[in-house]
Every structure is written in C-alpha cells, then in structure tokens.
Amino acid sequence: MKLARLVWIYCVFLISCATEPAYYIENSNLPVAESRIAVTTVIGKPRIISLNGRELTSVFHDRKFEPLDLDKKLKVRFYTKVVILGPRRPYEVSVEVIKEVFEPQTQAFVAVGMDEGLTQIKAQEIKKALNKGLDSYRKLDGDNPF
C-alpha cells in the first residue's frame, strides 16, 4: 500500500515537473564561471552543484527566502534551482522555486510543484545580478583589450 502510494506520488511529481515551465532568462553573455558567481550572490552558497557546474540548488528556505532551521518541524519548505543552458554564449538561464510539503504518512517532504510568484521574484534578482556582472565584465575587457 505504501509502496503504491509512493510510486503514485513520484509519477505525479514527474508529470508536474515536465509540464510546469520555469522562468527563463535569455541571452546571458557572461561565461559560465561568472554566471555561477552571479547566481550564488543571489541564492547563497548552493546546497547542490552539478558536476559540470551548470546546475545550482539552494539551501531550503521559506517564502521570504530566509534559510530554514532543519531541526524544527516544518510543514512547507522551498528551494531554488538554477540551470545554465546552452552549449555556448549567449546562455539561457532557467530559474525555479520548488515548493515541498511534509507528508505525515511517509514522514518525508514531497515536491508539489513550482511556486510561480516566488520564481518570478528570484528570477528578477538573478537577472539583475547577471546584468551587473556583465557590466563589470565589459568594463574589464575595455580596460585591458590585450
């Protein structure tokens, strides 16, 4: 019974993740390393970084993007996932703020989907950081062209 319920929840999660769009920031001309620095200034030190350094997942946070104390009993938590897409510049940056709800039956958190409002807020902050990084990157290139 529990296994069937977990499989059902997992299938719902996969379907919901596949159909929910993330917020995309297009035409980011920063190199991947500079983009990663800009993203970490917004989301903080990542909890998970992919092997290629293009996927960053934040620590768990609340609706106000404050880090959570995991020792407390929580009912809802969020995390931000940022992915730098594309083989070369200009890159596209995907931003998602995922909501997880504690399920008492399984004693685990289950992802229920993307929070669109929080995703848009965080994406705008990341977009500003990427543009700010691009301004300083251009400034350095102009000062020392060779």
Higher pLDDT, 60 or 13: 60
Domains of the chain: total: 1
Q: How far is CA 137 from the centre of its chain?
A: 23
pTM of the entire structure?
A: 0.77
Query: Domain range for residue 65?
Result: 2-143
In this structure, what DSSP letter does residue 106 have? Answer: T
Residue spans of beta strands (DSSP E) within the chain = 23-28, 48-49, 55-57, 76-85, 91-103, 108-114
Residue-wise pLDDT tens digits, 72-118: 888 999 999 999 999 998 999 999 999 999 999 999 999 999 999 99
**CATH number of the domain that 56 lies in?**
3.30.530
